[in-house]
Amino acid sequence: MVQETKLEGLGDVKSLCVYGTPADCVRAAVHLLDEKFDFCFSGINSGFNAATNVLYSGTVSAAIEANLFNIPAIAVSSQWVKGHSKFETAARVAVEVFNKLDDLRTSSPKYKRTLP
């Protein structure tokens, strides 16, 4: 089920609430949003998405789903240390990666994507 919602601090930005898996959220965004998006950052997941954990990760599955639509995607995880996840560190690194990807995309026509 998908319903339109308002998110505090986003003003008039169209926001959707998706009751489903992370991959369902990506599929809803691809089909229901008015504008196409250039990147999909999935997460931040608590704990590493490594080894066999990637087979069960909703965070990774959302990134894979985006990739099926030719949308570059990254699954973001945070390290679990002494009972706490370092979300701030993961968010900072994700923003740095996004900025580098966006610079690459805008500076090189080779990396511009097209949806099928």
pLDDT of residue 48: 81
Please state whether the peptide bond connecting residue 44 to the residue before it is cis, i.e. omega within 30 degrees of 0. Answer: yes
Other CB atoms closer than 10 Å to residue 77's CB: what's the count?
21
Task: Tell me the CATH class for 2-107.
Answer: alpha beta
Q: Tell the residue number behind the tokens 């504008």, with chain if given.
A: 35
From first to last of the 116 residues of the chain, give the pLDDT tens digit: 899 898 888 888 888 899 999 999 999 999 988 778 888 989 998 888 888 888 889 999 999 999 999 998 999 998 888 888 889 989 999 999 888 887 777 776 655 554 44
Distance of CA 21 to the CA centre of its chain: 13
Other CB atoms closer than 10 Å to residue 98's CB: what's the count?
15
pLDDT of residue 82: 85
pLDDT of residue 110: 58
pLDDT of residue 101: 80
Say whether 47 sits in a helix, a strand or coil.
Answer: strand
The structural domains of the chain, with segments of one domain joined by +, span: 2-107
Find, among 107, 105, 116, the residue nearest to 38 by Cα.
105
pLDDT of residue 33: 83
pLDDT of residue 103: 78
DSSP letter at 8?
T
Contact between 59 and 76 (Cβ < 8 Å) = yes
